[in-house]
Amino acid sequence: MTTLIPDPEAREPELDGFLALLAAQRSPRTVDAYRRDLKTLAAYLGKPVGRATLEELERYVAQLRADGLSNSTIARRTASARSFFRHQQLLGAREDNPAAAVALPRRTKPLPKTLSPGEAERLIQAAAGTQPRSLRDQALVELLYGAGLRVSEAVGLDRAGIDLDDRLVRVIGKGGKERVVPIGRHAAEALRRYLARGRPFLDSRHRPELFLNARGGPLTRAGAFLILRKVAEKAGLDPQRVHPHLLRHSFATHLLEGGADLRSVQEMLGHADLSTTELYTHVTDRRRRELYYRAHPHARKRSTEDQLVDRSTRRTLHGPGIGSGVADDEGRPGQERT
């Protein structure tokens, strides 16, 4: 396996200019991802990225496949190169975009994993308590599950963004877009308890953020992950399985299973594209099928014991030559079942 290690000392003015412009449009994490991808490509090429050819990029992608990288990683690294060359075209530094002609592996979107309603309830109950941090933890879990917020949106909420009278949360999502999400009665009550008996004891620094840590500072993403893992362990769930986005997936899936329309769920989640929200319909279709096959009398598979009793009864009533010991619902080739 060939390991491609970018040279941190190598400077490329064209690349630096692209990343500086990107920093004004994207988040720091996104810019860091682009930087790593393009530096890795430069290390493979042994020359500035701006001088790459189509053939070199195709060999690069082939090498990534040989190294065993996932389809999504290969697609992301190629997309970084495409964005860079598109920038070069706009500047007039290059006429073509060689990365645009590189064939990409098909990316498969895995279905979102979710908690069952019972597991979500166990998680919320496990967070219950009377201490300030317990009140905060239950309010956080209720809000993540009850409003489907991203973890960055939850920890970025200000106290002023909560309207408990109308049970609404004002969220600043991706790209600075604002949306208003309703919350249920249980979430509103958990937030009211936290604001009355929990947050005042944590707010030693007079911060505007809704969720505070034990030292009075704003709760971080890492802190929210740690809280959920501890609560999951207390609830008897796998701590490695439970994370903030799992509650967001559960929020969307349970809404659709309860009859909510897709467009409303899209708006509450803050998805720019409806196709992203449609992933949850596949989850509900799968669960619906499982419930049907488990519950409907004509869909359930009969037990081996039932089938043996049925065959024995047929032989007793009709003799061994009729039916050949095959139950009606098992069918025979060429026969129509009634």
Catalytically annotated residues: 150, 174, 245, 248, 271, 280
70 touches 61 (CB < 8 A): no
Q: Which residues pair with 275 in a beta bridge?
A: none
* Ramachandran angles phi, psi of 232, nearest 5°: -60, -40
Q: Which two tokens stand for residue 156?
A: 């970025």
Residue 269 three-state SS: helix
What is the 3-state composition of the chain as percent helix, strand, coil, each rounded to the nearest 5? 60, 5, 35
* Ramachandran angles phi, psi of 271, nearest 5°: -75, 135
CA distance 206 to 202: 9
- 208: nearest Cα among 219, 198, 197: 219
Beta-carbon contacts of residue 55 (< 8 Å; ≥ 6 apart): none
